[in-house]
Amino acid sequence: MSLLCKSSPTGCFTQVNRLSWSRKIVHLPAKFQAKHSSVRQIRAYVTNHSGADTEDEASSRAPAKNAGMRVAYQGVPGAYSEGAVQIAYPGCDAIAYAAFDDAYEAVKQWETERAVLPVENSLGGSIHRVYDLMLARGLFIVGEVQRPISHCLLAPKGTRIEDIEVVMSHPQALAQTEQYLRNLHVKIEAQADTAGSAKLIQDQGLVGVAAVASSRAAELYDMDILDADIQDDKNNVTRFVALSRNPCTPNIPGEIYKTSIVFSFVDGPGMLFKALGCFALRGIDTTKIESRPMKNNPLVKKVWGDSVQFNYIFYLDFRGSTTQVEVQNALRNLEELTTFLQVLGCYPMDVSDPLARKIK
């Protein structure tokens, strides 16, 4: 039995009577392969036979506890992701990587203990590359952080706003300030990172060029803030997830947990309705759903006529823990409907007000 995954479209995580919740594969005895075996029972067996780190991420909020912990993020110092790292793991060593893939691989290769990567923004939507990495490469979501994003227009010291001809930044930041930049009548240039754009301008001594980045980037790279809070919507929030080689154990009383899954099914009338019904009928609150064409098998012939349409996978977040009986039953029910089901992680839910956070 596997509640984590079956028939992965990437071929990476197919499991047959085994559970890869730890650093090594643990084969389950026959007594755990029956349908009535609970996730709690299986988890206890894996923990006792693998040496996996089962410490809950909710306990990582004390700075002293994170001293020496290495956490990867994409960008350079001053990036919004660096700020998210310090919210998630205050006091840790935040280590910059050039690309999402590099930060992800840093955890897999034991260069860092965690990676904190953005998955969605209230204005720009989902960060699809990060979702693709989570689907294909096997780390677990162990926490989440929602942080406000306050964009600033940065330029070298002494620059006036009317001198700006080009503005560069990450595509997401440019999209989030689209209306503001249109009113400036400047040329837009996409770069790999927000703070990296500020660093590039300063390092190369570019004239007439500004960056959309954080106020912390202005401090780090000795630049003037020509304008602040330039995002088109002031309620601009990005959700980040913390990723680890091992899942956290949802066992802290009173903690609110979220579970993220991805699945697909054979096309048919009402299949999505039936899939969501697995949770609705058990009173489980779904908090996000998104469909994406399946990369390795994007087109499929539909049951009606000879129509060829996209073949989709569905990402779903719901409020609840895999230790809860109703969640276990919902996943078993969903497994009966799907051709592929993978749990990306069960982790403490960030229930704070992100707009109340005062960070640079």
Angle 246-247-250 from CA coordinates, rounded to 5°: 150
Q: Rounded to an integer, what distance in angstroms lies between the CA atom of residue 339 and that of residue 314?
A: 12
Residues 237-271: b if buried by 16+ CB within 10 A, e if exposed: bbbbbbbbbbbbbbeeeebebbbbbbbbbeeeeee
Angle 48-54-59 from CA coordinates, rounded to 5°: 150
Residue 158's Cβ-count burial label (10 Å; 0-12, 13-18, 19+) is exposed
What φ, ψ does residue 256 adopt, rounded to 5°? -95, 130
Q: Which position among 13, 240, 279, 318 bears the catalytic label?
A: 240
Q: Tell me the CB-side half-sphere exposure of residue 171, using CA atoms within 13 A.
A: 5
Q: How many residues are listed for the chain in this entry?
A: 360
Q: Which position among 177, 194, 238, 259 bears the catalytic label?
A: 238
Alpha helices in the chain (DSSP H): 39-50, 80-88, 100-108, 128-137, 171-176, 178-184, 194-204, 215-220, 271-280, 325-337
Judge whether 240 counts as a catalytic residue.
yes
Judge whether 338 counts as a catalytic residue.
no
> DSSP secondary-structure letter at 232?
S
- Residues annotated as catalytic are 238, 240
